[in-house]
């Protein structure tokens, strides 16, 4: 028995040395430097089969969404749905509503323009052609103007969150030759041109309570999706515009207050939490995860929601020490959150086979070479369809964590350049913009590195 154990240990020591040598060679080939730290953990049961930089804490970025997804499913339940209602109070006489139109959203992160159009049509089909009262937005769901403090202010992944989330809380901006436009247009939205914003910023928001005002730099051509900050007021005014498009004389007043309607015109149920979580995992959607976490916790800001998630993990999985991590949101859009690769590998070992309706938790992640951000990756015989995984990246941060379908071994692989990532903090400058441009090439190189390292691990039959 001792001889057999010794042979196994010798095999893993030899294999680790082989992989470590090949990773070092790969770094040189891809022109990665000593500052580009690679962290790796492969777990079989609770035993770490292979590790590299095992005590280094890495920025996990969106791979952390896995932790939040499990908390959301366990807290809200797979079948929970958001409900958006539209109704009115008062008398309807000859097409004129002598009362208020009341919109009651509850935070559905997946409302689209078509849903607002259906609401407007329901008003028209009820015989209402003019509203004499107010449009009242009735909800106690929190309104927050951004998710995190990472990156430039115009990044589409860092939008606001509120009870009324439409089109992922982004507007479209387009410029072609002399034409510069932004959509959708309405009274609360202002879009102007400026000679220049700070380095790298195509769009800059002007702080004002009365408008969602953005200034666009005078580039020759672009097509962007830009984050909305005051999402509740912006989307409420968008709805007013669509009511007007339906030939309804809209109210002049828009009020935010809790109020019940006496007559229901329209009711929309969201996709189930299970479906929303799967979409959030497939497309790494920060808005979905943060909205769901706020709903699950019942809290009024992202930090409080994050603290509720910490308490959940302290109670249910104290050995993972997730409750001791430093995070103030649940989407991974943070630089303060750092962890060892084996933390997420252990997490996956514990929860991967938990079943929600017809889906195991692990299947909510992307399948290699098939879905989400992995659809065009791992397209080789060693890795195609061999594992589920979640990716995560920021400038000079890249990673992937998942589980092998055949062996059920879990793994986590990170590449961070802490030096260059830290240089991107602080006041924006031209040198930072140069680094952001460099980060694009770094992302391509480290994407190759992640794929080749995992392919190598499969070649060595360690996954």
Whichever domain contains 389, its CATH number is 3.40.710.10
The whole-number pLDDT of residue 9 equals 43
Give the integer Cα–Cα distance in Å for 35 and 52. Answer: 15
- 66 and 91 co-located in one domain: no
Q: Name the nearest CA neighbour of 311 among 79, 299, 300, 345.
A: 299
Please give the helix or strand (H or E) that residue 74 lies within, else none: helix 65-76
Tell me whether residue 262 is in a domain.
yes
Residues 122, 265 contacting (CB under 8 angstroms): yes
Sequence-distant (6+) residues with CB within 8 A of 355 are 361
The runs of H, that is alpha helices, within 424-461 are: 430-459
Give the integer Cα–Cα distance in Å for 220 and 176. Answer: 7
- 314 and 427 co-located in one domain: yes
- 207 and 263 co-located in one domain: yes
Eight-class DSSP state of 279:
H
- Note the maximum CA span of the chain: 93
Please give the helix or strand (H or E) that residue 265 lies within, else none: strand 263-269
- 38 and 108 co-located in one domain: no
- 377 and 284 co-located in one domain: yes
Sequence-distant (6+) residues with CB within 8 A of 5 are none
- 131 and 47 co-located in one domain: no
Tokens 């309607």: give the residue: 261
Sequence-distant (6+) residues with CB within 8 A of 177 are 220, 221
pTM: 0.95
Tell me whether residue 359 is in a domain.
yes
Q: Name the nearest CA neighbour of 275 among 114, 69, 440.
A: 69
Tell me whether residue 199 is in a domain.
yes
- 254 and 280 co-located in one domain: no
Q: Residue 463: exposed, middle, or buried by beta-carbon count in 10 A (0-12, 13-18, 19+)?
A: buried
- 101 and 241 co-located in one domain: yes
Two tokens at 95?
Answer: 């097409």
Residues 273, 80 contacting (CB under 8 angstroms): yes
The whole-number pLDDT of residue 88 equals 97
**Pairing assessment for the beta strands 101-104 and 91-93 based on DSSP bridges:** unpaired
For 159, 170, 216, 262, the CA distances from 203, given in Å and listed in that order, are 13, 13, 5, 43
Give the integer Cα–Cα distance in Å for 237 and 269. Answer: 22
Please give the helix or strand (H or E) that residue 304 lies within, else none: helix 302-316
Tell me whether residue 341 is in a domain.
yes
| CATH number, residue 257 | 3.50.80.20
Tell me whether residue 4 is in a domain.
no
- 171 and 251 co-located in one domain: yes
For 2, 12, 51, 404, the CA distances from 8, given in Å and listed in that order, are 10, 6, 16, 21
Full residue range of the structural domain in which residue 118 is found: 85-269
Residues 84, 65 contacting (CB under 8 angstroms): no
Tell me whether residue 100 is in a domain.
yes
Among 213, 239, 269, residue at a domain's last position: 269
CA 98 to chain centre: 42
- 330 and 184 co-located in one domain: no
- 60 and 153 co-located in one domain: no
Tell me whether residue 7 is in a domain.
no
Residues 189, 208 contacting (CB under 8 angstroms): no
3-class SS of residue 267: strand
Among 269, 288, 315, residue at a domain's last position: 269
Digits of tens for pLDDT over the chain (463 positions)? Answer: 554 444 444 444 546 677 889 999 999 999 999 999 999 999 998 899 999 999 999 999 999 999 999 999 999 999 999 999 999 999 999 999 999 999 999 999 999 999 999 999 999 999 999 999 999 999 999 999 999 999 999 999 999 999 999 999 999 999 887 788 999 999 999 999 888 889 999 999 998 888 999 999 877 688 999 999 999 999 999 999 999 999 999 999 999 999 998 899 999 999 999 999 999 999 999 999 999 999 999 999 999 999 999 999 999 999 999 999 999 999 999 999 999 999 999 999 999 999 999 999 999 999 999 999 999 999 999 999 999 999 999 999 999 999 999 999 999 999 999 999 999 998 999 999 999 999 999 999 999 999 999 999 999 999 9
Count of domains for the chain: 2
- 183 and 293 co-located in one domain: no
The whole-number pLDDT of residue 205 equals 95
Tokens 């097409």: give the residue: 95
Among 269, 297, 319, residue at a domain's last position: 269
């Amino acid at each position: 028995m001792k001889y057999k154990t010794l042979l196994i240990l010798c095999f893993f020591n030899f294999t680790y040395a082989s992989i470590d040598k090949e990773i070092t060679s790969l770094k040189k080939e891809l022109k990665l430097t000593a500052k580009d730290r690679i962290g790796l953990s492969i777990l079989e049961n609770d035993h770490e089969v292979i590790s590299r930089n095992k005590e280094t804490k890495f920025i996990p970025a969106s791979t952390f969404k896995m932790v939040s997804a499990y908390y959301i499913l366990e807290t809200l339940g797979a079948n929970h749905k958001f409900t958006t209602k539209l109704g009115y109070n008062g008398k309807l006489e000859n097409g004129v509503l002598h009362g208020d139109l009341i919109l009651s959203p509850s935070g559905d992160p997946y409302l689209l323009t078509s849903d607002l159009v259906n609401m407007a049509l329901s008003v028209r089909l009820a015989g209402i052609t003019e509203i004499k009262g107010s449009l009242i937005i009735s909800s106690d769901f929190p309104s927050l103007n951004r998710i995190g403090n990472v990156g430039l202010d115009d990044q589409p992944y860092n939008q606001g969150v509120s009870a009324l989330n439409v089109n992922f809380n982004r507007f479209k901006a387009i410029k072609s030759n002399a034409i510069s436009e932004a959509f959708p247009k309405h009274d609360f939205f202002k879009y102007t041109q400026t000679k220049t914003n700070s380095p790298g910023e195509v769009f800059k928001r002007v702080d004002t309570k009365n408008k969602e005002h953005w200034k666009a730099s005078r580039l020759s051509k672009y097509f962007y999706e830009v984050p909305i900050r005051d999402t509740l007021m912006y989307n409420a005014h968008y709805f007013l515009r669509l009511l007007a498009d339906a030939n309804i004389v809209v109210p002049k007043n828009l009020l935010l207050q809790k109020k019940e309607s006496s007559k229901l015109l329209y009711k929309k149920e969201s996709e189930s939490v299970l479906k929303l979580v799967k979409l959030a995992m497939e497309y790494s959607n920060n808005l979905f995860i943060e909205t769901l976490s706020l709903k699950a916790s019942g809290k009024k800001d992202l930090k409080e929601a994050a603290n509720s998630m910490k308490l959940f993990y302290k109670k249910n999985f104290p050995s993972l020490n997730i409750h001791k991590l430093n995070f103030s949101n649940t989407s991974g859009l943070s630089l303060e959150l750092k962890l060892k690769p084996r933390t997420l590998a252990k997490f996956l070992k514990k929860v991967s086979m938990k079943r929600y309706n017809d889906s195991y938790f692990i299947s909510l992640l992307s399948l290699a070479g098939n879905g989400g951000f992995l659809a065009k990756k791992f397209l080789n015989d060693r890795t195609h369809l061999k594992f589920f995984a979640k990716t995560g990246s920021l400038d000079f941060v890249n990673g992937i964590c998942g589980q092998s379908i055949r062996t059920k071994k879990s793994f986590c692989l990170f590449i961070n350049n802490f030096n260059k990532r830290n240089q991107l903090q602080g006041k924006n400058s031209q040198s930072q913009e140069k680094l952001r441009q460099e980060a694009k090439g770094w992302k391509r190189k480290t994407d190759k590195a992640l794929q080749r390292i995992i392919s190598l691990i499969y070649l060595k039959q360690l996954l």
